[in-house]
Amino acid sequence: MSTLAVVEKVLRDARVPLTAHQIVTRARGRLPSAAKRLDVVVARDLSLNLRKLGKESRFARTGPGLFTLREFAGGRIYEPEPQRRGGWKWTEHQLRARSIRRLA
């Protein structure tokens, strides 16, 4: 049984949003991973599933670090702000220094 299948059963029984640590505690050894930090594995798998499937995912994030099934979320779905990926930009000083080096 996969990690997400176990998580789905735990969340279905709970019917309230849970953190990854609470999910691991309620799973009581049913998770198929030998990792030391099972809560990190659960949070990673849920986050990747949400990122990959989006609104098609059976899981939903109701707050930072809180997960539930989409059918129990009822409009309390948390959408984090997208991270900016612009990289760095040249400052005026760097541009001037660069153009001076080219002229020399």
Average pLDDT over residues 71-78: 85
In this predicted structure, the answer to whether residue 43 has a pLDDT above a threshold of 90 is yes
CA 76/CA 82 separation, integer angstroms: 18
The CATH class of the 3-73 domain is mainly alpha
Looking at the predicted structure, is the pLDDT value of residue 61 above 60? yes
Domain regions of the chain by residue span: 3-73
Cα–Cα distance measured from residue 88 to residue 90, given in angstroms and rounded to the nearest whole number: 7
Whether 21 has a pLDDT exceeding 90, the answer reads yes
Residue 74: predicted pLDDT: 85
pLDDT band for position 46 (cuts 50, 70, 90): very high
User: How far apart, in whole angstroms, are the C-alpha atoms of residue 9 and residue 69?
Assistant: 10
User: What six digits make up the tokens of 2?
Assistant: 């996969």
